[in-house]
Structure 1
Amino acid sequence: MNTEINPNVKKNVKWMSGLVVIVLIVLLLVLNGFSTVQYGHIGLYKTFGKLNNNTLDPGIHLRLPFVQSIIQVNTQVTKAETDTTASSKDLQPVSTHVAVNYSVNKEAVYHLMNNIGSSFDVIIINPAIQEIVKEVTAKYPAEDLIAKRDVVAGEISENLTKRLAKYDLIVNDINIVNFKFSDAFNQSIEAKQVAQQQALKAENDLKRIQIEGKQKIVQAQAEAESLKLKKLEVTPELVQLKQIEVQEKAVEKWNGQLPNVTGGATPFIDVDSFNQQSTIQSVQP
């Protein structure tokens, strides 16, 4: 049986194998000749380990395969969180959790990456936050750190903005997430608040008592003034008139019979006064 392969077939197989290899190489070169810069990033060419200062906007860009690469730098707002332990002005230990929103200056991406590198958050941002938080915290007593939280955060933000601007980093916002003090200090604050509340209650009670006392004095003065006016209004003429009115009502009700029993110095009817009034009424036209 003849098992020899036709030389033409061998030639065709070698040719086809070479063609496949060439196609694979071309595809590999084509695929490595393009790179994409993602949205919210800035790209930089890196040729044999050297950065090019030409920045690349988001999109597809050509590059030399196996020679060039494109590194991407995030220019979106990024959050860095740091825990810091420090002492207040009155030497109270304070643990602070700070969150900083920052971004990279797009115009200075090359300078940042060429001088610091992609680990700028660890190398620059976190140490700067810790140092500035300690510096600002030491200026305030522990109680003021709580009462003036916004002021403290504003001062930290101002100092951090100046520090990071040297490295082309922009501070967008800063938040003091938490101040944590020792248990002894927390208990002293709680006791002080309770004492202040009790003092405020006592002060309010005293004011209430004083107001009620003044109201009673005013009421008593008004009643005394009323009695005084009433006494001034009672004259002898008024008394006599009242007596006459009473006697007239008694006469109107009298049935002509004298009472069987009388007593006292005052008669049932003042006859003289009654006759005098009758005479006056008869004289009048």
Structure 2
Amino acid sequence: MQAAPGQAGQVPIRRASPPIFQLFLTSCMLVVALLKTSLHQVPEGYVGMYWRGGRLLTRITDPGLHLRLPLTDSYELVQVTMQTDKVTDIPCGTKGGVSIAFEKIEVVNRLSKAHAYDIIKEYGIHYDKTWIYDKIHHEINQFCSFHTLQEVYIDKFDEVDEKIRDALQADITKYARGIEIISVRVTKPRIPEDIMENYVMMEVERTKAMVALERQKVVEREIEVERTRAIAEAERAAQRSRILQA
């Protein structure tokens, strides 16, 4: 039997199948990519909080390695140990109408892990902007508006830390339970240069007056010592005189 024309001597063509190694490598790369986007670490002092499609989940993770759904879940680290928020350049006007500014106020605070979900759901991940940064501005302006420059800068300055802390904590306890204000540190405010010069002069004069007063006290003590000594000498002389006359 003769072969059909054009088919003599031809080798059958086979389709090449994908190499098994290439499929394995592709699968490994896909698994690594998924793990890279889903595996994450929560460090000490923080908890992990998760959102799915924009909705905050009740899931809260402790420090360690954790997994999340790579395409639908996002997460944020929330600090639950002591942290210090610094609020800078806070302008305010005193009762007498003088404009001053506090260069820096430090607020040491802590978020309770037990209340983290409620706080973050209500006020967002930047809850401290509402309850610390913005609130500090309000409380400082309240304090300044009720006091004179003399009171703010000198007479009542040592009370500012405690007053601001108590005011912050009172509102937080009422509306955002779970944030603890541990301490507040307030730096001396900037005041107009001409007024500052007057305060410097007053401080110099006050120092001179204190030095003069201390000198006067020393002189008075020396006079008292001399007077006591003279009285003692007179008494001894009188005793000797009585002995000689006896």
Bigger Cα displacement from structure 2, 199-208 vs 184-193: 199-208
Counterpart in 1 of 2:72? 67
Distance 1:72 1:198 in 2: 56
1:107 alignment partner in structure 2:
114
User: Contact between 1:47 and 1:69, CA under 8 Å: does it hold in 2?
Assistant: yes
User: 5+ unaligned residues in a row in structure 2: which ranges?
Assistant: 1-10
Aligned to 1:178: 188
For residues 215 and 170 of structure 2, the distance between their equivalents in structure 1, rounded to whole angstroms, comes to: 52
Change (3 A) 1:12 1:81: closer
Q: Deviations over 1:248-281 (max 9, x none)?
A: xxxxxxxxxxxxxxxxxxxxxxxxxxxxxxxxxx
Task: Name the SS for the 1:118 alignment partner.
Answer: coil
Aligned to 1:155: 163
**5+ residue gaps in structure 1?**
234-285
Distance 1:27 1:190, change over 3 A: closer
How many angstroms apart in 2 are the aligned matches of 1:5 and 1:147? 104
Find the counterpart in structure 1 of residue 101 from structure 2: 95
Q: Greater Rg, structure 1 or structure 2?
A: 1
Aligned-residue offset at 1:136: 1.6
TM-score normalised by L of structure 1: 0.63
Over aligned residue pairs, what C-alpha RMSD do you find? 3.6
1:175 to partner: Cα distance: 0.4
CA–CA separation in structure 2 for the residues paired with 1:5 and 1:114: 68
CA distance in 1, matches of 2:27, 2:134: 53
CA contact (8 A) 2:94 2:149 kept: yes
One-letter amino acid of the structure 2 residue matched with residue 158 of structure 1: D
The amino acid that maps onto 1:180 is R
2: CA distance, partners of 1:156 / 1:175? 9
SS in 1 for 2:23: helix
Confirm whether residue 34 of structure 1 aligns to residue 44 of structure 2.
no
1:169 aligns with 2:175: no
- C-alpha separation between the residues in 2 aligned to 1:170 and 1:64? 33
Is the partner of 1:86 in helix, strand or coil? strand
Name 2:5's counterpart in structure 1.
none
Deviations along 1:224-262, one digit per CA (max 9) or x if unpaired, are xx9xxx9xx9xxxxxxxxxxxxxxxxxxxxxxxxxxxxx
Amino acid in structure 2 at the alignment position of 1:136: F
Q: What is the percent sequence identity of the aligned residues?
A: 17
Q: 1:55 to 1:192 in 2, by over 3 A?
A: same
2: CA distance, partners of 1:133 / 1:115: 25
Could you say what secondary structure the match of 2:134 adopts?
Answer: helix
Task: Describe the SS at the equivalent of 1:73.
Answer: strand
Name the structure 2 match of 1:190.
200
TM-score between the two structures when normalised by the length of structure 2: 0.72
Aligned AA (1:186) = M
Q: How many residues align?
A: 222
Report the secondary structure of 1:11's partner residue: coil
Residue 205 of structure 1, CA deviation: 7.0
Shift of 1:12: 4.2
Query: 1:204 & 1:31 partners in 2: Cα distance?
Result: 73
**Inter-partner Cα distance in structure 2 for 1:175 and 1:60:** 36
1:98·1:178 contact (CA, 8 Å) conserved in 2?
Answer: no
Report Cα offsets for 1:52-95 as digits up to 9, x if no partner: 11211111223223232332212222222222111233333321
Name the structure 2 match of 1:21: 26
